[in-house]
């Protein structure tokens, strides 16, 4: 009976505590896994570079701009959705009066930010691919240059 009263009176605080424990527990599991994976990929890349140098081949270069654009397009929506979910959990836990309207606003903003990050990242990746393939020169040739036209007339 006393446990039921305790749970009934402090259910919101217990829910926030449980969510915090789950979040920290998952971070304690995921972060070392991600670090090991990154270390392994760096080791494989180093081995590939050393073999290329031993054979006298040019060392393949990694395009870091594309890597960072892809990471941004991937991580921004994840962080935004996690933040929106956290705020929504706090609203529910503290029994906010305007739960639906505030949650709708939060998730709408999260959706717009996520969509903008994905669209911007994909556009940047497309532009970087175009620059690597040499497509920029063709685009510049096809556009008329107003200064050149004025010089020709003079």
Q: Across residues 120-132, what is the average pLDDT? A: 89
Alpha carbon 79 to its chain centroid, in Å, reads: 7
Q: What is the 3-state secondary structure (H, E, C) of 129-144?
A: HHHHHCHHHHHHHHCC
What mean pLDDT, rounded, does the chain reach?
A: 85
Query: For 96, which DSSP code?
Result: -
**Residue 134: is its pLDDT beyond 80?**
no
Cβ 81 vs Cβ 33: under 8 Å:
no
Q: Across residues 60-73, what is the average pLDDT? A: 85
Q: Across residues 13-33, what is the average pLDDT? A: 88
Alpha carbon 56 to its chain centroid, in Å, reads: 37
Task: Determine the pLDDT at residue 144.
Answer: 66
Task: Determine the pLDDT at residue 23.
Answer: 85
Give the DSSP per-residue string, 1-39.
-HHHHHHHHSHHHHHHHHHHHHHHHHHHHHHHHHHHHHH
Could you tell me which residue, 136 or 106, shows the higher pLDDT?
A: 106
Listed as own residue / partner, the contacts of 82-90 with beta carbons closer than 8 Å and 24 or more positions apart are 83/110, 84/109, 84/110, 86/19, 89/15, 89/16, 89/19, 90/16
In this prediction the pTM is: 0.64
């Amino acid at each position: 009976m006393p446990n039921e009263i305790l749970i009934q009176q402090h259910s919101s605080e217990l829910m926030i505590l449980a969510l915090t424990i789950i979040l920290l527990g998952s971070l304690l599991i995921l972060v070392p896994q991600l670090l090991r994976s990154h270390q392994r990929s760096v080791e494989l890349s180093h081995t590939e570079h050393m073999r290329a140098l031993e054979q006298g081949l040019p060392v393949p270069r990694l395009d870091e701009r594309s890597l960072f654009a892809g990471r941004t397009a991937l991580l921004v929506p994840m962080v935004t959705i996690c933040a929106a979910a956290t705020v929504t959990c706090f609203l529910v836990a503290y029994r906010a009066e305007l739960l639906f309207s505030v949650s709708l606003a939060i998730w709408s903003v999260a959706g717009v930010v996520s969509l903008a990050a994905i669209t911007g990242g994909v556009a940047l990746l497309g532009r970087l691919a175009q620059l690597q393939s040499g497509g920029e020169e063709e685009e510049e040739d096809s556009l008329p240059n107003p200064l050149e036209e004025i010089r020709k007339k003079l």
